[in-house]
Amino acid sequence: MCNAKDIYTAGWVLVVMSGLVSLAIQVYLGYFRLDDMVKHLARCRVIAIRMPLLGKDPLSRFFMLLCIGAMFAMPHLFLRNGGLNVKDYRKFPLGLKWLINLFQLAALAAAIAFLVLWWVSRHL
């Protein structure tokens, strides 16, 4: 039978695994697929503004990946204000969109599980 301690430990395993999955996907996208993403989004104003900041270092690649992730998390906002080009959004590869959404969901799951487990530990 599972007791509360086993469930609590499984929750922390979920936090660590979600964080590692998100980190692994971010490293893959940042170093192996970011140039493809920038090429597909060449007409977007958001990318054009941040392109001079993109280098080979992890921080600038992570920053660019977060900007692209935000554009796909809230496309209605970026399409409305002109930051995201409609043609670029429609022609963006579906597999890359899926990976971007996956790393964002894994990071969100890790953050929510972390906050829930922190709250539980404070009240037990």
Average pLDDT, the chain: 88
At 91 the pLDDT is 92
Q: Which residue has the tokens 């920038």?
A: 38
Mean pLDDT on 79-108: 88
Mean pLDDT on 109-113: 88
Q: Is pLDDT above 80 for 1?
A: no
Instruction: Report residue 5 as tokens.
Output: 């301690």
Contact 106, 16 (CB under 8 A): no
Q: Is pLDDT above 90 for 73?
A: no
Q: Is pLDDT above 80 for 124?
A: no
At 113 the pLDDT is 87
**Is residue 53 very low, low, confident or very high in pLDDT (cuts 50, 70, 90)?**
confident
pLDDT tens profile 27-38 = 998 899 999 999
Residues 6+ apart with CB under 8 A from 11: 113, 116, 117, 120
Mean pLDDT on 86-98: 91
**Is residue 92 very low, low, confident or very high in pLDDT (cuts 50, 70, 90)?**
very high
Radius of gyration in angstroms for the set of CA atoms belonging to the chain, rounded to a whole number: 18
Of 61, 71, 74, 67, give the one whose Cα is nearest residue 34: 61
